[in-house]
């Protein structure tokens, strides 16, 4: 398997690399959350082993970003002993399993092998909507023979909105759930991101049918679209 290891403690990181390489895996390791999110989104990994306490972006936020951009990618979280909250939250953020520190080599490898055998999650990788094809795996939208690139964040937003179809979502919810930020001041950033995204995916951005505005509430996936 191609495994991305995210651990800021150098000793443990080296230990994980040795252990996983010894088990026949191709291992890449990074030491902070921001690099982890970028690296994890840039490529599809067979498994991400993700520490929770990280500099520059915590493991929960990294997990949410990875889940948003690559829903089917298995994530194994490393949590501290006794922090039951972290386990629950981690699984809620989309981690597939967790191992509690300190763990034995045997325990970790057992979890890694179990996730490797697991069938990929049911993932929507392509949506045909209102004459457009949203290709999440290739990060593009195709319409009328033209192909337009989408950023990982735009794919995350589209995928998340599609999952919430049938209800209106607020700007602050998008900000928190998709962009991993808080604060009412930045909700304008959501509107700007939607404007840019509509230009890419909508037939007529002035008459959006895929990402519709709900007055007084925020946005919703278009009712008539799959």
Q: Is 19 in the site for Ca ion (CB under 5 A)?
A: no
As measured in angstroms, the least distance from the Cβ of 155 to Ca ion is 28
Write the CA distances from 162 to 56, 97, 145, integer angstroms.
Answer: 30, 25, 23
As measured in angstroms, the least distance from the Cβ of 184 to Ca ion is 31
State which of residues 8, 23, 46, 130 lies at the interface with Ca ion (CB under 5 A). 8
How many angstroms separate the CA atoms of 149 and 142, rounded? 9
**What is the crossing angle of helices 152-163 and 187-201, to 10°?**
90
Residues between 51 and 80 with contacts to Ca ion, criterion CB under 5 A: 51, 53
As measured in angstroms, the least distance from the Cβ of 103 to Ca ion is 14
Q: Which stretch binds Ca ion (CB under 5 A): 8-16, 38-46, 112-120, 161-169?
A: 8-16
Which residue number, 28 or 172, has a Cβ lying nearer to Ca ion? 28
Question: Residue 27: which H helix or E strand, with range?
Answer: strand 26-30
Which residue number, 7 or 96, has a Cβ lying nearer to Ca ion? 7
How many angstroms separate the CA atoms of 80 and 59, rounded? 12
> Residues interacting with Ca ion, by CB under 5 A?
8, 51, 53
């Amino acid at each position: 398997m191609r495994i991305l290891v995210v651990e800021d403690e150098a000793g443990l990181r080296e230990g994980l690399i040795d252990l996983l390489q010894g088990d026949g895996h191709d291992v890449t390791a990074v030491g902070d959350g921001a690099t982890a999110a970028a690296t994890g989104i840039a490529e599809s990994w067979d498994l991400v082993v993700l520490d929770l306490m990280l500099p520059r972006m915590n493991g929960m936020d990294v997990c949410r970003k990875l889940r948003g951009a690559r829903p089917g990618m298995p994530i194994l979280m490393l949590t501290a002993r006794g922090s039951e909250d972290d386990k629950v939250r981690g699984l809620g953020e989309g981690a597939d399993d967790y191992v509690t520190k300190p763990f034995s080599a045997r325990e970790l490898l057992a979890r890694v092998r179990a996730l490797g055998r697991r069938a990929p999650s049911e993932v929507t990788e392509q949506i045909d909507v209102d004459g457009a094809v949203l290709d999440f795996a290739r990060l593009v939208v195709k319409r009328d023979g033209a192909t337009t690139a989408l950023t990982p964040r735009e794919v995350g937003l589209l995928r998340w909105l599609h999952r919430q179809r049938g209800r209106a979502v607020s700007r602050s919810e998008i900000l928190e759930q998709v962009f991993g930020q808080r604060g009412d001041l930045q909700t304008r950033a959501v509107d700007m991101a939607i404007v840019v995204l509509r230009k890419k995916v909508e037939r007529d951005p002035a008459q959006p049918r895929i990402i519709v505005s709900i007055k007084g509430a925020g946005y919703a996936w278009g009712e008539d679209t799959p």
